Structure 1
């Protein structure tokens, strides 16, 4: 009974906050006003608070622009977490646009949707990403291309860094800053997260969205460690594979560090 009341309270609060912020965001989108960039951060912060997602930030967001954040991908909650920390725009596969609720929210945040299967559109998509970065927006890339189980880093696809290479010629100083960001879900109700609670953190994609969402709503107490790594300067003539290797090394190192701390706390 108490759980049902809590879930109802969260849903009502999110609907109220959405109703208040939505008109301003629609105006911002219609006239491409800067407020369209920071209104989503208010919504994400509120959503994290209501869901009980406690964010622990390590390191600092790079202040130089144009900036691309390269992050490991565990769940849809990554969007809320990163969106609560900074004014960012995400790169997502085109299927996300059709998802109930999340698809609408993604469109309201002006997410960049890419169609990976259609190579003839790759150039246009990369150019859009590059244009958004050169306009000062922080673009978030999940270079694994899919979600993991949260306990390891999948293979990073160097081709997805094509947007950084495309943006370089359009930047004032001929450089794009790429900053690795690791996301590690470490605790539930203050206790180190074990195997039993892993499904709360990760959403591999073969699990139905609604049951997973209900599980998160019922628990209501997740801790996530977000670590910002050292920025990699990507310039004209630099190799995307070298960029991918540098980002991968940092992501794996930061992720392992915080997951090991979780295992240490569990002992």
Structure 2
């Protein structure tokens, strides 16, 4: 894929930095005086603008959930640190993330500001603690989101889903919204530019994203589920199968080029452009 000019890259990164600083300022000094609805709207708009600053365009396929659906769990595959903000640009949720994310430069601060719940998956008791926190949030009519793969991939595969956090759905009878995420280039072909994998630093990832010409992220909202008729294992398997099936159906397909004429899927673009 062709890259943008060096000057454009620097400009995008400068805008990113100032936007992040502004976001932290708003969370620290304005959020305490804002209503919950105003906070949600501000978070959504800020996330849309973040995408624009980095040159990303967010596309929605299927029927998107509302701004903050009550007692709802969003479950998605995981490719990039940007996944959180992409989803928040459409549906604002409290995310569950690995414990080490809170120590990442910049991204960790943003996640803390968004009331992210951090989990150490290696500790059984921590999983129990987080499940209890999720259940409390859902009973309070909040929306929770997590990535059951437990780590990022390059987007060319779907890793096995872990079922440990799905327990809260049974305790609250929550609605489950499976989401498939996919990054593409300007031709609508799969792109690895946003993948945050291996030993890549956040600085390297930001530079790669800022260098991309017209990088797109597709958010595919799949059919919703409820826990009824399932146990934890079968529910986890069904969610994984749905996301994996969407992934397999789109690999090698230039989605953005054919969506209007052949897919017949409603599309909404959340972009500040």
Cα distance 1:113–1:79, how it changes in 2: closer, same or farther (>3 A)?
same
1: CA distance between counterparts of 2:33 and 2:128? 26
1: CA distance between counterparts of 2:235 and 2:65? 17
- Does residue 1:25 correspond to 2:30, yes or no? no
Higher helix residue share: 1
**After alignment, is 58-67 or 132-141 more displaced?**
58-67
What are the superposed Cα offsets for residues 16-59 of structure 1, whole Å, 9 maximum, x if unpaired? Answer: 44444444422565478413333222221111112121122111
Cα distance 1:125–1:45, how it changes in 2: closer, same or farther (>3 A)?
same
Aligned partner of 2:211 in structure 1 is 218
What are the superposed Cα offsets for residues 56-93 of structure 1, whole Å, 9 maximum, x if unpaired? Answer: 21111345631001100111121221111111121101
Aligned partner of 1:180 in structure 2 is 178
Q: SS state of the match for residue 260, structure 1?
A: coil
> 1:158·1:241 contact (CA, 8 Å) conserved in 2?
yes
Structure with bigger RCO (C-alpha 8 Å, 6+ apart): 2
Cα distance 1:122–1:21, how it changes in 2: closer, same or farther (>3 A)?
closer
**Alpha-carbon shift at residue 105 of structure 1 (Å):** 0.4
Aligned partner of 2:9 in structure 1 is 7
**After alignment, is 2-11 or 92-101 more displaced?**
2-11
1: CA distance between counterparts of 2:189 and 2:78? 20
Aligned partner of 2:265 in structure 1 is none
Equivalent residues, number: 252
**Alpha-carbon shift at residue 116 of structure 1 (Å):** 1.6
Alignment of 1:237-248 (within 5 A): 238-248=230-240
TM-score normalised over the length of structure 2: 0.82
Cα RMSD (Å): 2.6
Cα distance 1:210–1:11, how it changes in 2: closer, same or farther (>3 A)?
closer
**Alpha-carbon shift at residue 211 of structure 1 (Å):** 1.6
Aligned partner of 1:83 in structure 2 is 88
Alignment of 1:66-105 (within 5 A): 66-105=71-110
**Alpha-carbon shift at residue 113 of structure 1 (Å):** 0.6
Cα distance 1:19–1:98, how it changes in 2: closer, same or farther (>3 A)?
closer
Query: Aligned match of 2:254 in 237, 248, 262?
Result: 262
2: CA distance between counterparts of 1:77 and 1:24? 20
Aligned partner of 1:171 in structure 2 is none
